[in-house]
Amino acid sequence: MRAIKRVLAIGALTAPLVMGCAGLASAQEGLDANFGQGQFVAGGEASGVGDTNSAVGADGAQHADFWIWSDSTGVSGAGDNSGAGWPGQ
């Protein structure tokens, strides 16, 4: 029962996002929306940086995020990147 509730909750939260992206895809040229957020931490024992950014334009949409952390055990990190072009462009 809990799994069904989770599926319904996720569906209810993602439906507006899917409809919004469909609306962006049909928007006029000149569309430009950007978002970026980053953080940097440095200390005597460790340091790290992370960033998330997204962009939507006339050519399509893209999203990227990453983090890098360094401490006495070494350096680690991860990142993701995705993008899509508008059909017929």
Q: What is the pLDDT of residues 7-48, one digit of tens each?
A: 444 555 555 554 555 555 555 567 788 999 999 999 888 999
Q: What is the pLDDT of residue 44?
A: 86
Number of domains in the chain: 1
Residue found by looking up tokens 């992206």 in the block:
21
Which amino acid appears at position 20 of this protein? G
Spatial contact of 77 and 66, defined as CB atoms under 8 Å apart: yes
What is the extent of the structural domain holding 17?
2-83
Classify residue 28 by its DSSP letter.
Answer: P
* Residue 88 placed within a domain: no
* Residue 46 placed within a domain: yes
Strand runs labelled E in the chain: 32-42, 47-57, 60-71, 74-85
Higher pLDDT among residues 3 and 55, named by residue: 55
* Residue 89 placed within a domain: no
Note the pTM of the prediction, 2 decimals: 0.56
